[in-house]
Amino acid sequence: MVTGGKIAALTLIGFSIIIAAGCVYNKKEVVQVPCTIADTVTYAVNIEPIIRNNCYGCHSTGSNIAGFTFDSYAALKIYAQSGQLYGAVSHASGYRPMPDGGSKLDDCTIATIKKWIDIGTPQN
Ligand code: HEC
């Protein structure tokens, strides 16, 4: 039996697909990689790998070119909460653009970092 609840759910799924398809289409027009920001951004699953892959080369205990490290949650949190982490990766004026000398991170990665900062930089 098809209940009212099921119809509502199917309608919602239908609209979600239309909306999602629209977003992908727009992204293609501006030649962007389709961006999938996780619903729940966590330090362990999302943030630490981003920082490890892009930043530890200069900001880790083993390779401390910059003079400060991000290879612990506590250290990264200080820069996340001061605004420097987002300022640097988004190439905002007043911050030294990061990764230093490299290409800017893609929009999805930057948005993922921003989301983690916005939810209060949890150690999750
Ligand atoms: C090639 C080396 C290198 C890489 C890779 C690198 N950094 Fe840096 N970073 C530096 C140097 C050098 C400085 C300047 C240190 C100073 O001011 O004395 C710096 C400064 C910073 C600052 C302070 C910026 C400011 O204006 O307050 C932040 C935040 C930062 N880096 C974040 C990152 C993040 C996040 C990544 C990875 C996405 C990254 N860095 C990758 C070398 C690097």
Nearest CA owner, ligand 1 atom 37:
55
Residue ranges per domain, the chain? 1-34, 35-124
Convert the pLDDT of each residue in 85-99 to its tens digit: 999 999 999 999 999
**Distance in angstroms (rounded) separating the CA atoms of residues 86 and 117:** 8
The pLDDT tens digits for 40-56 are 999 999 999 999 999 99
Does residue 16 have a pLDDT over 70?
no
Say if residue 123's pLDDT is above 60. Answer: yes
Protein residue closest via CA to atom 2 of ligand 1: 58
**pLDDT on residue 1:** 55
- CA-CA-CA-CA torsion for 36, 37, 39, 40, nearest 10 degrees? 140
Residue 88 Cα to ligand 1 midpoint, Å, equals 7
In this predicted structure, the answer to whether residue 17 has a pLDDT above a threshold of 60 is no
- In this prediction, residues 56-65 reach a mean pLDDT of 94
